[in-house]
Amino acid sequence: MSNFFLLYKTEIKKIMSKKSVWIAMAIGIALVLLVGLTNLSADGHSAYVKEQEKLLLAISGHSIDDEFLDSFRDEMDKQIEEDPEFYDTVAAYDPGAVYQNAAANIGKSALYDFLYNVVRNRDKISEVTADEFYEAMREDIIKDGTELGSSAEELNTWLEIYDGIEKPMAYSYALAYLNILDDLFIIGWVLILNISIALAGIFADEKTYRTDAMILSSKNGRKPVCLAKIAAGSTVAVAEALILLGLCLGTMFFFYGTTGWNAMIQNVIPSSPWNITIGTMMLIYIALAVLLCIFFAMTNTLISLLTKSSVATMAIHAAVIFAGLFNIPGKMGIIAKLWQLKPTMALYYGSFCNTFRYGQLNNVEASVLIYSICIIIFVSILLMKYKTEQVESR
């Protein structure tokens, strides 16, 4: 066991000694910060964001019912009455933008955007009732599921879950989580690239630097060396995920606060049929990120062992990433369903709108099962292949 830990620390040092690993990580951190700060600038300057937070916190926890909607409209109407000349000008160019501007001027843009993302019609915001609001949510689930290619049975299962959510729902200020969702998709791609760069040579470098025969013929040549590489690769991959996720969450919580953790997921993804809180969603995302990083670590490690080439490992991974950019139409049935489980989709917030079912499993549960099985298979292949190579080397 002591040999394993010594080898494990050595492998960690070898991986982290590469300049390319640190450069890739620095670029990833810069991208996460750039997206976060871009979102902040889109929401207005920090003083406006803080004022909006204060105003919306005051109504967080209120039920989204007719009284809630009427109260918000009254505030906007009052704002319009205070500066009729300005709003007449706005109406002349774009009537639908009147309430949008009024909401911004009273510091409640986030509430307006939330309502708009449900009703999808600026004119309807002036008259939508609570019943119409929840029906619009339901119609979005049906629309998204139909476009995706979900079967009637799959859609009915999700609609039953949505219908079981207590209504009226409570509104919550949750701008931090909205911005985190934007960052998560970028983080997913950054992690794939960073892990590939860090681990492409984990086995291939031994061949490149002609140290493979020496290692394989040593007393530690068998299982401890292979297990140390597997453990080191997984550790580095998970550490990168936790650093990027920690940076993303820390930045957003700093600017927008943490309010909204216990709110329903529909506060940030209105078309989601899931009956969970935002906090539960975030915990699922973090767990998925850790699992995916171990999966990526094992795929890179296995390809590195099989190809004996860092360049080939990164090229294969780049091809997989490129393929992940494309979608398969829902009409292709089981192929489309399986394609939705691809790793590049796992950290996309659309995972919580996906209405495919895999037997009794939803898409997230199916992803966890498949990635876990793949990790076990890859580790088994690595151990058997490395043992075979040791025998051949001797």
Residues 312 and 289 in one domain: yes
Do residues 58 and 141 share a domain? yes
Among 130, 163, 196, give the residue marking a domain's end. Answer: 163
Dist CA 304 CA 371 (whole Å): 19
In a shared domain, residues 30 and 69? no
Question: Hey, what amino acid is at 385?
Answer: K
Q: Are residues 241 and 211 in the same domain?
A: yes
Question: Of 139, 163, 187, which residue constitutes the final position of a domain?
Answer: 163
Predicted pLDDT of residue 210? 58
Low-confidence ranges of the chain (pLDDT < 70): 1-2, 39-45, 207-222, 389-394
Cα angle, residue 266 at apex, residues 273 and 59 outer, rounded to 5° = 155
213 and 71 assigned to the same domain: no
Q: What are phi and psi of 197, to 5 degrees?
A: -65, -40
Question: What local confidence, expressed as pLDDT, does residue 106 receive?
Answer: 92
Residues 302, 378: Cα–Cα separation, whole Å: 7
Q: In this predicted structure, what is the pLDDT of residue 43?
A: 65
What pLDDT does residue 233 have?
A: 93
| Whether residues 66 and 153 fall in one domain | yes
Entry pTM: 0.87
Residue 208 sits in the same domain as residue 289? yes
Total domains present in the chain: 2
179 and 293 in a common domain = yes
Q: Are residues 157 and 282 in the same domain?
A: no
Taking the C-alpha atoms of residue 249 and residue 184, their distance in angstroms, rounded to an integer, is: 10
Q: Are residues 114 and 189 in the same domain?
A: no
Name the residue range of residue 285's domain: 2-41+172-393
Contact 334, 250 (CB under 8 A): no
Look at residue 214 in the predicted model and tell me its pLDDT: 47
How many angstroms separate the CA atoms of 275 and 360, rounded?
Answer: 16
178 & 310 share domain: yes
Residue 324: what are its φ and ψ, rounded to 5°? -70, -15
- Return left, alpha or beta for 45; rule: phi > 0 is left, psi -120 to 50 is alpha, else beta: beta
Verify that 295 and 329 share a domain, yes or no: yes
Closest to 134 (Cα-Cα) out of 299, 264, 296: 264
Domain end, chosen from 144, 163, 182, is at 163
